[in-house]
A and B are shown apart, each in its own frame.
Chain A
Amino acid sequence: MATTMTTETSAAGDPAALPGLRRPIPKWIWLGIIFAALLPLIGGQTGLISNFYFLQLSLMIVYSIAVLGLNLLTGFNGQISLGHGAFFAVGAYVTAILIDRYEMHYLATLPLAMIACFIVGYLFGRPALRLEGHYLALATFALAIAVPQFLKYRHFEPLTHGVQGINIFNPDPPFGLPLSPDQWLYLVVLACAVVMFIVARNIVQSRMGRAMMAIRDQPLAADTMGINSARTKSITFGISALYVGLAGALHAIIFEFVSPDSFRFELSIAMLVGAVIGGIATLSGAVIGGFFVQFIEKYADALTKWITSTVHLPIHLEPWTIYGIVLIVLMYTMPMGIAGGLASLWRKIRPPG
């Protein structure tokens, strides 16, 4: 149907206004990607951006991939998961074990981590998807709680090193490129993200993507359209886990360390909050959501201390208070998420025509 219908319908309506049609990726996004890819040259070589900041940027991008994965499930398919940190952990451990124990090339571990997470996600999704709404959320919650315990399990210690975790080392850039390991890994992470976002965009605009959204909007009507809901939902679960698993694997590589306690329950929540804050069911929202997750991880604590010491507040602030305040303010001012808020702002200020 694809070709015939596209020509059919672009005559019928304004194709640019059709979210479901395959539109080219806007030029400014490509420019942004090129700029991001040149950062190690511009900022790195001049010393404007330190290795520390490249690590921070890499982490943001990694969380963006994770939030994107969760968004495919929650935003586009309408299934809530409180346990995606589990897949992040699985991806991270698969990569860490393959590097540490089997001396595999770090890049070669990525597809394996993705496949492993797809399988785990699919198999978990298969029975879990019989559960509706909050029951599914509970099952995923249990998964998030269980996985760190599982990683500490005594009989896996030869592989996982138990609570001590696994140290791996930043790889050197190949071909003698004049880059620091942090700069090189930033480029690797960026390339992965670009590929994964393009793939996600294609999925969302495909037959599969429409089926995912149809199930989200109207499960019964989706059945009447001949969509196999159970299959579509578990495949979506698998794909979502695959994305989050890749993020976990990249996290292990850039962070040079995995341990069961890196993947506590808060990570799952942060990802879900990132997805909602960025803008549920938008791809650009995942980028913002990823940045948000990293920002909160990194700065909520420092910001709290700074506010407490400079303003001399009469109350005691916890780091998570900032989290809560930011969350509430954003939900009030931008109920469609930051991506949605920016889009409507742009529609207002854009010159007419």
Chain B
Amino acid sequence: MSNMLEVKDLKAYYGPSQALHGISFSLSKGGITTLLGANGAGKTTTLRAICGMVRAEGSVIIDGEPVTGKATESVVRLGVGHVPEGRGTFTELSVEENLRVAAYTRRDKAAAARDLEMVFTYFPRLKERMAQQAGTLSGGEQQMLAISRALMLGPRLMLLDEPSFGLAPLIVQEIFRIMRRINEEAKVSMLLVEQNAALALELADHAYVLETGRVVMSGTSAEVRSDEQIRKSYLGY
């Protein structure tokens, strides 16, 4: 099976300082891969490099298409839904307007309307709150909105940056259940960045552990989970 995402020797820079020192990993079609690692390991930077949001070198291939050096909007148009760190809520806009911003690039209006229906089946709570100013949503609702917005792009690949961040365990479980459904029902491949390693390893099939911009460990989730050494030294649980 060909891969949805193939990253080889990816380097990324913020101005003069290098944040990624050549990392490689892959994500199979329909799969869920998680990137784990401590604060500052370079997880967010990896997602940004894939989307052309930081200066990067190396090779990123999305579903057979090389995207390194491409502008963010062209990568998005290939069907990449990036749920950014901190959720990126457009606070002054209503929930509906947030979702409409996401349909910015869509040519096929009927498909966009279907995707909105799909969003409502996953997150009925948002449907009730369409008119609410998005900045006044609870943290959990804002995370749901962030995922919904990415879904409105009609993605083949979703990049999720710490969707559990700052949320109560019950909400986190709900959101992770829905992510599983999105992966299975909508056939969206996922690259999941998480601090919460236990949770991420439950959802993902493969895991990569980053440390200061390098991959230090990788394997199937089961392998990583069962390796006490890795868990103790890198994942802290």
Distance in Å: Cβ of A218 to nearest Cβ of chain B: 5
**Is there contact, CB below 8 Å, between B101 and A227?**
yes
Contacts A20-B100, A222-B101; is A228 near B73 (CB within 8 Å)? yes
**Which residue from chain A places its CB closest to the CB of B133 in the assembled complex?**
A19
Contacts A5-B113, A220-B84, A224-B72; is A20 near B51 (CB within 8 Å)? no
User: Is B181's CB within 8 Å of the partner chain A?
Assistant: no
Distance, CA A9 to CA B120, complexed state (A) = 11
Distance, CA A227 to CA B77, complexed state (A) = 10
Distance in Å: Cβ of B164 to nearest Cβ of chain A: 18
User: Is B192's CB within 8 Å of the partner chain A?
Assistant: no
**Is there contact, CB below 8 Å, between A224 and B130?**
no
Distance, CA A211 to CA B53, complexed state (A) = 18
**Is there contact, CB below 8 Å, between A225 and B104?**
yes
Residues of B within 8 A of A222 (CB): 90, 101
**Is there contact, CB below 8 Å, between A8 and B101?**
no
Distance, CA A14 to CA B84, complexed state (A) = 29
Contacts A20-B97, A224-B82, A227-B73; is A218 near B106 (CB within 8 Å)? no
**Is there contact, CB below 8 Å, between A225 and B131?**
no
**Is there contact, CB below 8 Å, between A18 and B131?**
yes
Contacts A20-B96, A223-B53, A224-B82; is A218 near B104 (CB within 8 Å)? no
Residue among B73, B87, B94, B127 making CB contact with A226, cutoff 8 Å: B73
| Interface of B (DSSP majority class) | helix
**Is there contact, CB below 8 Å, between A225 and B149?**
yes
**Which residue from chain A places its CB closest to the CB of B130 in the assembled complex?**
A13
Residues of A within 8 A of B136 (CB): none
Residue among A3, A5, A14, A228 making CB contact with B100, cutoff 8 Å: A5
User: Is B167's CB within 8 Å of the partner chain A?
Assistant: no
Residues of A within 8 A of B94 (CB): 18-20
Contacts A225-B153, A226-B73, A228-B73; is A217 near B92 (CB within 8 Å)? yes
Distance, CA A14 to CA B96, complexed state (A) = 11
Distance in Å: Cβ of B57 to nearest Cβ of chain A: 20
**Is there contact, CB below 8 Å, between B96 and A13?**
yes
In the complex, per-residue mask of B66-85: 1 if CB is within 8 Å of any chain A CB, else 0: 00000111001100011110
Residue among A8, A17, A211 making CB contact with B131, cutoff 8 Å: A17
User: Is A313's CB within 8 Å of the partner chain B?
Assistant: no
**Which residue from chain A places its CB closest to the CB of B53 in the assembled complex?**
A223
**Is there contact, CB below 8 Å, between B130 and A214?**
no
Distance, CA A2 to CA B127, complexed state (A) = 17
User: Is A130's CB within 8 Å of the partner chain B?
Assistant: no
User: Is A221's CB within 8 Å of the partner chain B?
Assistant: yes
User: Is A1's CB within 8 Å of the partner chain B?
Assistant: yes
Distance, CA A5 to CA B150, complexed state (A) = 17
User: Is B38's CB within 8 Å of the partner chain A?
Assistant: no
**Is there contact, CB below 8 Å, between B131 and A14?**
yes
- Which residues of B in the span 17-39 have a Cβ within 8 Å of any Cβ on A? none
In the complex, per-residue mask of B126-138: 1 if CB is within 8 Å of any chain A CB, else 0: 0111110000000
Distance in Å: Cβ of A126 to nearest Cβ of chain B: 16
Contacts A5-B116, A13-B131; is A214 near B103 (CB within 8 Å)? no
Distance, CA A309 to CA B146, complexed state (A) = 61
Residues of A within 8 A of B51 (CB): 223-224
Residues of B within 8 A of A281 (CB): 92
Distance, CA A208 to CA B109, complexed state (A) = 16
Residues of B within 8 A of A213 (CB): 90, 92-93, 97
Distance in Å: Cβ of B62 to nearest Cβ of chain A: 14
Contacts A5-B113, A224-B76; is A210 near B96 (CB within 8 Å)? no
- Which residues of B in the span 99-129 have a Cβ within 8 Å of any Cβ on A? 100-106, 109-110, 112-113, 116-117, 120, 127-129
Distance in Å: Cβ of A235 to nearest Cβ of chain B: 14
Contacts A19-B94, A224-B84, A225-B76; is A218 near B89 (CB within 8 Å)? yes
Residues of B within 8 A of A8 (CB): 113, 116-117
User: Is B91's CB within 8 Å of the partner chain A?
Assistant: yes
Distance, CA A227 to CA B83, complexed state (A) = 15
Contacts A217-B92, A223-B73, A226-B73; is A2 near B104 (CB within 8 Å)? no
**Which residue from chain B places its CB closest to the CB of A205 in the assembled complex?**
B97
**Is there contact, CB below 8 Å, between A210 and B84?**
no
Residues of B within 8 A of A20 (CB): 93-94, 96-97, 100
**Is there contact, CB below 8 Å, between A217 and B104?**
no
Distance in Å: Cβ of A254 to nearest Cβ of chain B: 35
Contacts A213-B90, A225-B76; is A18 near B96 (CB within 8 Å)? yes
Q: Which 3 A-B pairs have the closest CB atoms?
A: A221-B88, A226-B76, A226-B105
Some 30 contacts from A to B, beta carbons below 8 A apart, are: A1-B100, A1-B103, A3-B109, A4-B109, A5-B100, A5-B112, A12-B130, A13-B96, A17-B131, A18-B130, A20-B97, A210-B100, A213-B92, A214-B90, A217-B89, A217-B93, A218-B89, A220-B53, A220-B84, A221-B84, A222-B90, A222-B101, A224-B51, A224-B72, A224-B81, A224-B82, A224-B84, A226-B105, A227-B73, A227-B101
* Extra A-B contacts (9), CB below 8 Å, given A5-B100, A221-B90: A1-B103, A1-B109, A2-B109, A4-B110, A5-B109, A18-B94, A21-B96, A210-B100, A217-B89
Chain A residues in the interface with B (C-beta under 8 A): 1-5, 8-9, 12-14, 17-21, 207, 210-211, 213-214, 216-218, 220-228, 281
